[in-house]
Amino acid sequence: MSAPKYWREIPQRYRFEAAKCKKCGKVSFPPRIVCPECRSREFENTRINDKGTVETYTVIRVAPTQFTDEAPYPVAIVDVGDGVRVLCQVADCGPEEIKIGMSVRLEFRKVQQEGHGGIINYGYKCVPE
Amino acid sequence: MRDVAVIGVGMNKWGELWETSLRDLIAQSALMALDDAGIEEVEAMYIGCMSSGLFTDQEHLGSMGPDYSGICPVPGTRVESACASGGAAFRSAYMHVASGMADIVMAAGVEKMTDVDGGGATFALATAADQEYEVYNGVTFPGLYAMMANHHMKKYGTTRDQLAQVSVKNHYNGAKNSLAQFRMEVSLDQVKNAVMVSDPLTLLDCSPITDGSAAVILCSMDKAKSLTKKRLVKVIGSGHASDTIQLAQREDLSSLKSTAIAAKQALDMAGRKINDINFAEVHDCFSIAEIMVIEALGIAAQGKGGPATADGTTAMTGKFPVNVSGGLKSKGHPVGATGVAQIVELTKQIRGEADKDRQLKKADIGLAQNMGGSGASSVVHILEGM
Ligand SMILES: [Zn+2]
């Protein structure tokens, strides 16, 4: 992954930075430059909540190349409130334990590694609360 | 806008076509469509293709399409909207003729997927999702649809058996399709016990990797009447809509808003209700997709797509046959060709030219629904025999 491509997403992946519409209050994660609700272009900085509930999930058993060593692993869409949902892996949780409605917390984690001994790419995963 | 008819269709036999190149795939179906229409020239060509670059290192189909179809210097335009590329190419060609800019235009679709290995194909297909917020976190396309399936099952009580019924039905139909990739029937147990790809979807809930192409010729109605003796197939409705590229940002994870909007546009344009339609070809990239699509189209009520599949409503002999071709599941899913192949199937059914043991008795009005990504773009067309 090129350095600029990775670097651009750091505010979201490391710090959960989001944009809140000054006109209607909608929170966009990742930030947008126009609000999809009201078309306003004025935002204030905010952060998404780190606590949420699993709205749906799956267990990836046939994984993309850079994730094959980790399969099977659960992935969920987590509702973190304020109208925001995020998709992330579920860590510290067996494939059989995950359930819709489960309380989880977002944590800063290693997400992928570019080959053996390669660069480590970080981001967020959720863990059971 | 003026009336437009489909006057020629072509589709090669789909499968793992090691001996056939991207360029020959395009040309095979293009020539079949020209021959079927009984013409040698068109004024423009649209080519639906999702990712010839990632699958074969080849872009610039706007040249390669017309070049190898033997129709240079006709202008070529590649149209991309992930798995909805073919439907979008057909709509572009339709608008080109309906606008009066040309009388005869070709819409083709192609994908040459087997020059890369499984990992390469998974990577290329995943580019239809949000790279930084979906793919980065390790989700796959089956994974996205699996999450919709779990949500739908929880919300509406859709069952594992009902999902499997989609694959059973479509393989039953596709076994009778002479151009299908997988001409075999599968049982409920085979689907449920196949290797798990992404819970709850097994390998037999997923459409395959396919090499294939399809092409159709669109013509202004006035000119069509003098060109062909075959039954004229008129485009009476066209709709196209988008939704958020991320599944997580949709209003409702259990419904396909872009399909519902595109369908409403197409039905309104045609002045018809869904129950006026005789049959449909829909985008069953995964078993859950067909269940959600028939709900979005109104063939089944919201949440009732599972029961409508299990009770035979959408079977070949049912009240509203869906995917009599075998759908993406059995016929195959060469991504960019799929939307055009749906038009081929509609046209053949309406003309009474489908394979004998799957020709519908009543096939005067058909609907085609083609969808990109996890439902982030949808194209719907309605065709009627004159
Ligand atoms: Zn706003």
Q: What is the domain-level CATH number for residue B56?
A: 3.40.47.10
- Say whether both B282 and B307 belong to one domain: yes
- Say whether both B155 and B219 belong to one domain: no
| B160-174 and B287-297 helices, crossing angle to 10° | 90
Query: Can you tell me the mean pLDDT for A36-45?
Result: 98
Decide which of B184, B218, B233 is a domain's last residue.
B233
Q: Which pLDDT score is estimated for B310?
A: 98
- Say whether both B264 and B324 belong to one domain: yes
Decide which of B218, B233, B248 is a domain's last residue.
B233
Q: Does B133 map to a domain?
A: no
Is the pTM higher than 0.95?
A: yes
Q: What ranges do the domains of chain A cover? A: 12-47, 49-129
Q: How many contacts (CB atoms, under 8 Å) link A and B?
A: 95
Listed in sequence order, the DSSP H helices in chain A are: 3-8, 10-15
Q: Which pLDDT score is estimated for A1?
A: 82
Domain with residues A49-129, CATH architecture: Beta Barrel (2.40)
A41: helix, strand or coil: coil
- Low-confidence residues of chain B: pLDDT under 50: none
Helix, strand, coil tally for chain A in percent (to 5): 15, 45, 45
Assess whether B60 carries a catalytic annotation: no
User: B175 is written with which tokens?
Assistant: 């076994």
- Say whether both B379 and B259 belong to one domain: yes
- Say whether both B61 and B200 belong to one domain: no
- Say whether both B341 and B246 belong to one domain: yes
Contact B344, B355 (CB under 8 A): no
Domain that holds residue B80: 4-117+210-233
Q: Does B125 map to a domain?
A: no
Q: Which pLDDT score is estimated for B334?
A: 98
Q: What's the Rg (C-alpha) of chain B?
A: 19
Is pLDDT at A118 greater than 90 in this prediction? no
Q: Which pLDDT score is estimated for A114?
A: 84
Instruction: Provide the domain count of chain B.
Output: 2
Query: Can you tell me the mean pLDDT for A28-54?
Result: 98
Decide which of B198, B233, B268 is a domain's last residue.
B233
Bond before B73 cis per omega within 30 degrees: yes
DSSP secondary structure code for residue B13 in this structure: P
- Residues B203, B206, B207, B210, Cα dihedral to 10°: -40
Backbone torsions φ then ψ of A51, nearest 5 degrees: -115, 145
Q: Using CA atoms, how far apart are residues A84 and B220, in angstroms rounded to an integer? A: 48
Q: Which of B370, B129, B156 is nearest to B248 (CA)?
A: B129
Distances (CA, A) of B114 to A114, B54, B209, B276: 25, 11, 7, 40
- Say whether both B214 and B204 belong to one domain: no
**Amino acid residing at A72:** P
Alpha carbon B385 to its chain centroid, in Å, reads: 20
Q: Which pLDDT score is estimated for A37?
A: 97
Q: How many CB atoms lie within 10 A of CB A94?
A: 11
Q: Does B191 map to a domain?
A: yes
Q: Does B93 map to a domain?
A: yes
What residues of B are in the A interface, CB distance below 8 Å? 119, 122-123, 126, 132-140, 142-143, 146-151, 154, 195-201, 244, 246-249, 253
ipTM exceeding 0.85? yes
**Cβ pair B196:A61 closer than 8 A:** yes
Q: Does B181 map to a domain?
A: yes
Q: What is the pLDDT of residues A73-112, one digit of tens each?
A: 999 999 999 999 999 999 999 999 999 999 999 999 999 9
- Say whether both B178 and B30 belong to one domain: no
Beta bridge mates, B241: B378
Q: How far is the CA of A42 from the centre of ligand 1 (A)?
A: 8
How far B330 CA lies from chain A's nearest CA (Å)? 21
Q: Which pLDDT score is estimated for A2?
A: 86
Q: Which pLDDT score is estimated for A117?
A: 81
